[in-house]
Every structure is written in C-alpha cells, then in structure tokens.
Chains A and B, each alone.
Chain A
Amino acid sequence: MSEAADPALLDAVVGGALILVSGLCVLCSYRVISGPTNPDRVVALDAIATNVVAIAVLFALQTDRGLFITVSLVLAIIGFIATVAAAKFITEGEVIDEP
C-alpha cells in the first residue's frame, strides 16, 4: 500500500473521480428532463447539487487550493435553499405567501 500510494496515483484517482462524477451529473439530467412528475425533477436537481459539491471538493484536491472547499460549502447552502423553495412552490404554488 505504501509503495503504490504516491502522489502521481493520487492525481490519477482524483482526475478519474472528477470525470466519473461529472458523468453522473449528466445521467441525473435525464431524470430532470423526462421525470414523470415535478417532485422527480426536484429530487434529480438535489442530486445534481450534491454531486457538484463533491466536484468542488475534488477540484480543491486536484489543484491543491483550499479555497474551493469554501466554494463547496456555499454550493451546499444554495442547493438546500433551492430544494426547500422548490418543494414549497410545488405544494402551495408560491414561495413567499402574500399576507
């Protein structure tokens, strides 16, 4: 294990993981486009948001810049707010209730 675990292998693994998770995002877009109902589309968009968080962390590992960990945290917050707003819009037809 200690012989095989050199930084070149880490670079290869991170690059392959980036390509694979990007492909997973493309696969999720199938469910976004042709989901039978609107909640299916929201579930798929939530999965895409979580995958993009993982992509940001992997990019931070690849370029050795810790700034992108913070970027991933902001993306997670945006994804959560988007999911809650979409669920509220599906249920009630509007996000913020007019008094």
Chain B
Amino acid sequence: MIRTGLEIALIVVGVFFLTVGTIGMLRLPNVYNRMHATSKPTTLGTAAIFFAGFAHFGPGAEGLTALIGIVFLFLTVPTGAHMIARAAEQIGIPFEGSVTWPDASAVDRSDRAERAERTEKSDD
C-alpha cells in the first residue's frame, strides 16, 4: 500500500517536471534559455520516474538498473547540453538582450563569425 502510494507520488512529480521542461522549451526566447529549460527539469522528471521504477521492482536486478539509469542521466545530460551550447556559441548565435559573457575578452565574437564564414566558403 505504502509502496503503491510512493510510486504514484513519484510518477506525478516526474510528469510535472517533464511538462515544465517541455513548456519552457516551447516558450523561452533563445537557444541558450531553451537548453537551460530542457536539461534540468527533464533530468529531474526522468530521475523521479526512474525512482518509481526502483520502488516498483525493489532492490533486485531491475531496480539497480534503474539506479544506474539515474546516475547515467546526471552524468550525460549536462555534458550534452554544454556541447550544444558551445556549438551554438561557436556558430555565432547572439545572447539575449544585455546578457554578456562574464569575461568579455574570453569571447571574441567577430573572430568567431569570420572563422565560420571562412569554413563555409572553404566547404565547396
């Protein structure tokens, strides 16, 4: 009884976070904001649903697989989001409004745009 209630609560929490992440991805204005909105709530929601699986199957083989899934998500989703953000910054997508890099000299945008143009030209 208690286990079933715990599973229902974890599934509700997970679906809530997945919904929040998807709405943020549809509504936010910039690719950086969208990446921020999808990576964190989606990870939390899927981790909650994995915990529901752990509560359902118990600490046997499948429950341990669910825990490994949580660890894997927490390792890989920030890595993937960081690589997408770095790619977006390198092909020259501008930041929103007055947002700047913390150290402005670390990002030389004109050089990056020039290099992107040059690689585009050297494609053919």
Tell me the B residues contacting A by CB distance below 8 Å: 1-2, 4-5, 7-8, 11-12, 14-15, 18-19, 21-22, 25-26, 31, 34-35, 38-39, 42-43, 45-46, 49-50, 52-53, 56-57, 61-62, 65-66, 68-69, 72-73, 76-77, 79-81, 83-88, 90-91, 93, 119, 123
Contacts and interface: CB of A to CB of B under 8 A. Distances in A.
Interface string A61-80: 10000110110110011011
20 contacts: A2-B1, A5-B1, A6-B1, A6-B4, A7-B4, A9-B4, A9-B8, A21-B15, A21-B18, A24-B18, A24-B22, A43-B25, A47-B25, A57-B46, A72-B50, A80-B77, A84-B80, A84-B83, A87-B83, A88-B83
Given A9-B8, A73-B69, A80 B79 contact: yes
Interface residues of A, number: 54
B65 A69 contact: yes
A7 B5 CA distance: 9
Consensus secondary structure, chain A interface: helix
Interface in A4-27: 4-7, 9-10, 13-14, 17, 20-21, 24, 27
Contact of A61 (B43, B56, B85, B91): B56
Nearest to B51: A57
A46 B80 contact: yes
Given A47-B42, A50-B43, A76-B73, 8 more contacts: A5-B1, A28-B22, A39-B91, A50-B77, A51-B22, A60-B62, A66-B65, A84-B79
Interface of A: 1-2, 4-7, 9-10, 13-14, 17, 20-21, 24, 27-28, 30-31, 36-40, 42-44, 46-47, 50-51, 53-54, 57-58, 60-61, 66-67, 69-70, 72-73, 76-77, 79-80, 83-84, 86-88, 90-91, 93
